[in-house]
């Protein structure tokens, strides 16, 4: 930073158009401007890489290998990096806003097979604290009290990869200019106008001209350079792939008077956040000046590290296409092709046998319909869980369902499938990561009070499951229907993170395809009405199961208990009476635990909406995740800003008034009547294809 007087530069158009008869005319023209200009500090800096003195870090922001990383794979975090001192942005006691020019290179780096979010913003703020700022779709840009207020003094240029209806986002890949709110005053698809475009100098384009626009995917791991210039109440925003010459035509060109937005001095820098969706947000280089608009040319734009993930091809195995055919020789031939193609890899039987001490009974940690689950320890000390499946009772179908779904999936909230093994005589084994804290079911129902999950822990685990389901429904090459969402199928790792497992009933099909009718499968109490009556599963039936899971975990009650009304009916009746909080697990209240009543009530209402009898009335998992993210961040008063339509449904008694639980949810008698041809019943509470 160098101290100097502001070097006054008039717009070129003034110089070209004005012809002065004498020097006195020029002096008279400049006098009003000269009178109020005071000595200021001209800010000029170029960071081709960062160190601890370059920027001040807040929240999750760190500097590694001279790269500024704002966020990592931790959910609901905020990362902010600001120039260490405030910079002059407006002439004291005047409305004159100083011009500025900034450029930076960024990369949004998704984690493999994890839905990315939420984006980053370049910002001017009058404060440094992030204590009250909101993560997720709010990018750490807003706090709990501001938003759309003229006295907030916030300017942001957002690079947003999540479409939020509450902010009228145009899509999930856009650039916007934000003043005091994340509802952009103007936004555009992320991309650039190449200089060879016929439209490069004309913002009013025809449909034919618009074909020359080069849209760019913000969160593909590529490095992009951004240029932001402000002068004479005009702000220009331009972007292009790093290393490319700056396009002539800006992406955004907006008339914007910042005199009421900027204070005399402001902090400048970057903010980013994660919610249930996570990714790395990186800044590789940055320049800023309020006196030299060509300073960006000093940024190094070549030889930068690449963060693009290698593509992992989706192998369409013959077993997958055949839909888990189980017929004799055909199966054997398909398995041989499948073994060569499918990850995870095959594990030698001898390794599994040694790890489980010869499948010792003392190593049994669970018993399922088609076999036992053993704990094992590999030679290096890694703990594993081994599910041993019998060929009988559709064991082969379960084995193939797990491999053809979970075998190709990778997400932080899914149980990891490490490998598989098949033996002669129809014995199959699946090898998983070992989950130290057992199942969610046991930590809610079958444990002493000291190990029982708190209200906060339950909500956090439910958010983990929600993110996993969103990934299954939308985040992979094909759509995966789990079809057996329940507390016993949610496992807890050493850090008490929720992991969705047991894909023995899963089905995989193309996005947009309607799954064909099948046998009724699932667990009594979790199955949507349409599954029992038609056997047809869909993403909305998974949503139903998740809704029941929410209520089960929050209420500490199983969906169906002998001598008690069904859980759904009980919670619904309490909601109708305005007493939803009475449904919360009595054991939590008995031990005097403090909890957010508004958040608990929101979770209960969301559970009811997900388990709505008519599938058309249920939200999608994307909507569910949005509500859970917002619910984690906002007070009850602000809740309508999350997703007004969905929240209105959650609180509407009209939604439920025409559907009694008795009339819309299947009873045991209804299920029994379907028994003869559609499914097998196990009165241990599980209804599956033969388990």
Residue 328 Cα distances to 259, 325, 331, 334, 428, angstroms? 78, 9, 6, 10, 16
For the record, the structure tokens of 335 come out as 């398995």
pLDDT of residue 137: 58
Residue-level pLDDT at 11:
42
**CATH number of the domain to which 627 belongs:** 1.10.510.10
Q: Looking at the structure, do residues 572 and 665 belong to the same domain, yes or no? A: yes
Is 444 a domain residue?
Answer: no
Alpha helix stretches (DSSP H) within 342-394: 349-355
Q: What is the pLDDT of residue 397?
A: 65
78 and 177 housed in the same domain = yes
Same domain, 191 and 316: no
Residue 338's CATH number: 3.30.200.20
Q: Is residue 440 part of a domain?
A: no
Nearest to 247 by CA among 226, 223, 264, 216: 226
Looking at the structure, do residues 150 and 264 belong to the same domain, yes or no? yes
- Residue 352 belongs to a domain: yes
Query: Domain range spanning residue 390?
Result: 312-434
> Are 186 and 253 in the same domain?
yes
Distance between CA atoms of residues 401 and 596, nearest Å: 40
Same domain, 619 and 529: yes
Query: Do 528 and 430 sit in the same domain of this protein?
Result: no
In the listed set 244, 264, 298, which residue is the last one of a domain according to the structure? 298
75, 198: one domain: yes
Output the six-digit token pair for 271. 């903010």
SS3 at position 332: helix
pLDDT given for residue 141 in this prediction: 80
Q: What are phi and psi of 445, to 5 degrees?
A: -110, -40
Q: What is the token pair recorded at 224?
A: 């992009």
Nearest-angstrom CA–CA distance, 343 and 596: 43
Number of structural domains (the chain) is 4
Which of these is catalytic: 484, 502, 542, 585? 484
Q: Would you say residue 571 lies in a domain? A: yes
Last residue of a domain, one of 255, 271, 298: 298
Q: How far apart are CA 688 and CA 680, in angstroms?
A: 6
Structural domain contains residue 223: yes
pLDDT in the model for residue 401: 65
Give the end of a domain, one of 368, 400, 434: 434
Does residue 484 carry a catalytic annotation?
Answer: yes
pLDDT computed for residue 502 by the predictor: 86
Is residue 136 a part of any domain in this protein? yes
SS (H, E, C) 32-99: HHHHHCCCEEECEEEECCCCCCCCEEEECCEEECCEEEEECCCCCCEEEEECCCCEECECCCCCCECC
Q: Is residue 307 part of a domain?
A: no
Binding residues for ATP: 387
Can you give the pTM of this predicted structure?
A: 0.54
**Residue 497 shares a structural domain with residue 565:** yes
Numbered residues of the known binding site: 387
Question: Does residue 521 share a domain with residue 382?
Answer: no
Q: Quick one: which H or E segment has residue 271? A: strand 265-273
Using an 8 Å Cβ cutoff, are 466 and 414 in contact? no
pLDDT for res 315: 32
Please check whether residues 459 and 590 belong to one and the same domain. Answer: yes
Q: Are residues 255 and 331 in the same domain?
A: no
Q: What is the CATH number of the domain that holds 146?
A: 2.60.120.200
In a domain, residue 514? The reply is yes
Give the C-alpha separation, 1 to 175, whole Å.
30
- CA–CA gap between residue 667 and residue 657 (Å, rounded): 19
List the chain residues with pLDDT less than 50: 1-20, 27-28, 31-39, 144-150, 201, 203-210, 312-343, 631-646, 653-691
């Amino acid at each position: 930073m160098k101290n100097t007087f502001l070097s006054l530069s008039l717009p070129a158009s003034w110089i070209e158009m004005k012809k002065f008869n004498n020097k006195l005319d020029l002096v008279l023209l400049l006098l009003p401007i000269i009178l109020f200009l005071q000595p200021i500090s001209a800010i000029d800096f170029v960071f081709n890489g960062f160190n601890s003195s370059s920027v001040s870090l807040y929240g999750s922001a760190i500097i590694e290998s001279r790269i500024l990383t704002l966020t990592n794979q931790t959910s609901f975090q905020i990362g902010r990096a600001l120039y260490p001192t405030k910079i002059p942005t407006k002439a004291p006691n005047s409305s004159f806003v100083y011009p500025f020019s900034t450029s930076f290179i960024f990369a949004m780096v998704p984690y493999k097979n994890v839905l990315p979010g939420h984006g980053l913003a370049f910002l001017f703020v009058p404060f440094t604290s992030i204590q009250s700022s909101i993560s997720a779709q709010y990018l750490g840009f807003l706090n709990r009290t501001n938003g759309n207020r003229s006295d907030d003094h916030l300017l942001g240029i957002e690079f947003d990869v999540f479409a939020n209806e509450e902010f009228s986002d145009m899509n999930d890949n856009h650039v916007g200019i934000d003043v005091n709110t994340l509802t952009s005053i103007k936004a555009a698809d992320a991309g650039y106008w190449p200089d060879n475009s016929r439209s490069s100098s004309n913002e009013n384009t025809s449909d034919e001209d618009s074909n020359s626009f080069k849209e760019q995917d913000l969160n593909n791991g590529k490095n992009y350079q951004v240029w932001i210039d402000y002068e004479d109440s005009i702000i220009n925003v331009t972007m292009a792939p790093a290393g490319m010459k700056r396009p002539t035509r800006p992406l955004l060109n907006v008339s914007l008077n910042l005199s009421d937005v900027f204070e005399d001095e402001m902090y400048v820098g970057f903010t980013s956040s994660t919610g249930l969706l996570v990714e790395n947000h990186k800044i590789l280089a940055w320049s800023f000046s309020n006196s030299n608009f060509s300073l960006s040319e000093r940024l190094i734009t070549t030889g930068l590290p690449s963060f693009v993930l290698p593509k992992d091809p989706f192998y369409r195995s013959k077993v997958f296409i055949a839909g888990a055919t189980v017929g004799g020789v055909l199966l054997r031939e398909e398995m041989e092709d499948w073994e060569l193609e499918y990850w995870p890899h095959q594990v030698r039987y001898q390794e599994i046998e040694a790890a489980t001490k010869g499948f010792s009974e003392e190593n049994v940690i669970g018993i399922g319909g088609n076999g036992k689950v053993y704990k094992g320890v590999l030679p290096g000390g890694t703990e594993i869980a081994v599910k041993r499946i019998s060929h009988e009772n559709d064991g082969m179908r379960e084995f193939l369902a797990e491999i053809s779904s979970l075998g190709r999936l990778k997400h932080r909230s899914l149980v990891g499938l490490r490998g598989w093994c098949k033996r002669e005589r129809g014995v199959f084994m699946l090898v998983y990561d070992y989950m130290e804290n057992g199942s969610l079911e046991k930590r809610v129902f079958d444990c002493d009070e000291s190990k029982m999950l708190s209200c906060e822990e339950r909500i956090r685990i439910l958010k983990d499951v929600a993110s996993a389901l969103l990934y299954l429904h939308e985040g992979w090459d094909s759509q995966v229907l789990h079809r057996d969402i329940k507390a016993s199928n949610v496992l807890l790792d050493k850090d008490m993170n929720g992991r969705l497992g047991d894909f023995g009933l899963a089905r995989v099909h193309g996005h947009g395809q309607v799954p064909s009718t099948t046998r009724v499968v699932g667990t009594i109490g979790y199955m949507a009405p349409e599954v029992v009556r038609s056997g047809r599963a869909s993403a909305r039936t998974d949503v139903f199961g998740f809704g029941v899971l929410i209520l089960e975990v929050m209420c500490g009650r199983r969906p169906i208990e002998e001598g008690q009304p069904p859980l759904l009916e009980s919670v619904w009746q309490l909601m109708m009476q305005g007493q939803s909080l009475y449904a919360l697990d009595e054991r939590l209240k008995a031990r005097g635990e403090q909890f957010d009543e508004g958040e608990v009530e929101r979770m209960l209402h969301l559970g009811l909406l997900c388990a709505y009898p008519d599938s058309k009335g249920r939200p999608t998992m994307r909507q569910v995740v949005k509500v859970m993210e917002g619910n984690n961040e906002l007070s009850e008063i602000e809740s309508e800003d999350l997703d007004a339509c969905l929240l209105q449904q959650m609180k509407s008694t009209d939604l439920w008034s025409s559907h009694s639980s008795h009339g819309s949810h299947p009873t045991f008698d209804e299920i029994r009547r379907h028994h003869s041809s559609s499914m097998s019943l196990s009165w241990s509470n599980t209804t599956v294809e033969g388990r």
